[in-house]
Amino acid sequence: MFYDEVKIHVQAGSGGDGAVAFRREKFVPFGGPSGGDGGKGGDVVLVVNPHLNTLYHFRHQVEFAAANGEKGRNKQQYGAGGEDLFLKVPPGTIVTDVASGAVLADLKEPGQRFVVAHGGKGGRGNMRFATSTNQAPRIAERGDPGEELWVKLELKLLADVGLVGKPNAGKSTLLSVTTAARPRIAPYPFTTLQPNLGVVALGENETFVMADMPGLIEGASLGKGLGHEFLRHIERTRVLIHLLDGTVLDPVGDFRVINRELADFGHGLSDKPQLVAINKLDMPEARARFPQLQAEIESLGYAVLGISALTHEGTRQLLGRAYQILEETPVLEVAAPASPVIIKAALPEEFTIEHAVEGIWEVHSGKIERAVQRTNFNFRESVLRLHRYLKSQGIIAALRQAGVQEGDLVHIGDYELEWREQESL
């Protein structure tokens, strides 16, 4: 089965907690704090693998998490960083944030990497808090949580030439006799259920990638048949070969229908250079009608060639003409995303206080929430440090002014704190 669109949940590793420790060695009195910092959490990284052409390997797993950083240790030893998680994707993968709909990355080049979720920073150990007035601090920070988000991976095949046309026009046959690709072929409509890629080699330095797109029907731009599932794969092609079955009742009518669907779908499909090929000239009726069909389509402004994919007649001339048009057509440039998710906005300075229900208050501020999250409540000095910080930021005064009472609960981020007036002086 061809998978060209999946949604996955990525979770970067959390940073390790900083340590509280002191040197205790013979002949080293007053050794001082020696608690090391926690290690950084692992990143989740998307890597382009040129040997993949589908997202099928994501079919059974949608949750991916990188390793957490280790805690800091004694003797000023840092915790080890969490191992990064690498996820392989095929060339042509577009990464989108599900929540915002923003395009985060367009991955095209083999080996290209994109950090889709950054690991959390490790917390500082108590050796970082030693000062001339506090030479034995019992303060350590917790590590930051890693980024997590749902992302959509959408594959848009990277091909130079796309084969389009109605079902059973001979696209798969043409691809099979001109490249090493081996698509399924049968004499009935809708044989092709997934795009197929092949490399056309006209000479040592004259090669291009050609894609066989599943047959289109009237209404494809509205989602009928295979519809949008595969029309988007034509977006990346630079040249289209429009294959027509010379044995059907109205090849020119089929030509008009497919072009109308390309125009209705948009995304510049109708503006692409288009080379028309009348197929199945091995059939007497197709060969007899070819001059008339050629004249009628050329009157619409298109170059027309006659071929037989089955007997290979005219196929090399067709591909040579396609290569010539490719050389004259500029390479498509896709603009890089303006603001990928890995660029974090500065945490807001302002805070708001909300009296949710009786006895429960909520403080909203990214900056304040991060300070509370990094506080290790196992150490009293860390709690007192947080209290001083909240006081300096005006949180304590604002809560008092709002009417907080003894025993009320104050929610800051994921933490629930109890208000005690004697400790808030």
pLDDT tens digits along 48-78: 998 887 787 888 899 999 999 999 998 888 9
Residue owning tokens 């501020």: 365
Check residue 228 and give its pLDDT: 46
Query: Is residue 414 very low, low, confident or very high in pLDDT (cuts 50, 70, 90)?
Result: confident
CB 20 within 8 A of CB 126: yes
Count of C-beta atoms within a 10 Å radius of residue 35? 29
**Residue 331 structure tokens:** 């390479």
Give the CA distances from residue 79 to residues 16, 31, 41, 172, 369, in Å, rounded to whole numbers and listed in that order: 7, 21, 10, 56, 24
Nearest to 16 by CA among 31, 33, 1, 36: 36
The domain over range 161-328 is classified in CATH as 3.40.640.10: no
Residue owning tokens 């395009």: 103
User: Average of pLDDT values for 176-200?
Assistant: 61
Residue 170, sorted as left (phi over 0), alpha (psi -120 to 50) or beta, turns out to be left
**Residue 342 structure tokens:** 């890995």
CB 53 within 8 A of CB 27: no
- Residues 107-119: tens digit of each pLDDT: 888 899 999 999 9
Judged by average pLDDT, the poorest of 148-162, 186-200, 408-422 is 186-200
- Phi/psi for 144 (5° steps) reads -75, 145
**Residue 272 structure tokens:** 């692409």
Count of C-beta atoms within a 10 Å radius of residue 176? 18
Strand 196-203 relative to strand 206-212: parallel, antiparallel, unpaired? Answer: antiparallel
Rg (CA), the chain: 32
Query: Is residue 82 very low, low, confident or very high in pLDDT (cuts 50, 70, 90)?
Result: very high
Extents of the domains making up the chain: 1-155, 161-328, 352-423
- Residues 337-363: tens digit of each pLDDT: 443 444 444 555 688 888 878 888 888
Report d(CA 134, CA 200) in Å as an integer: 73
161-328 and 1-155 share a CATH fold: no
Judged by average pLDDT, the poorest of 167-171, 192-196, 288-292 is 192-196
CATH superfamily of 1-155: GTP1/OBG domain (2.70.210.12)
Check residue 159 and give its pLDDT: 75
CATH among 1.20.1260.10, 3.30.70.360, 3.30.1130.10, 3.30.300.350 for 352-423: 3.30.300.350
> Residue 44 pLDDT more than 60?
yes
| CB-count burial class (<10 Å; 0-12, 13-18, 19+) for 313 | middle
Give the CA distances from residue 2 to residues 7, 58, 166, 194, 198, in Å, rounded to whole numbers and listed in that order: 15, 11, 20, 6, 16
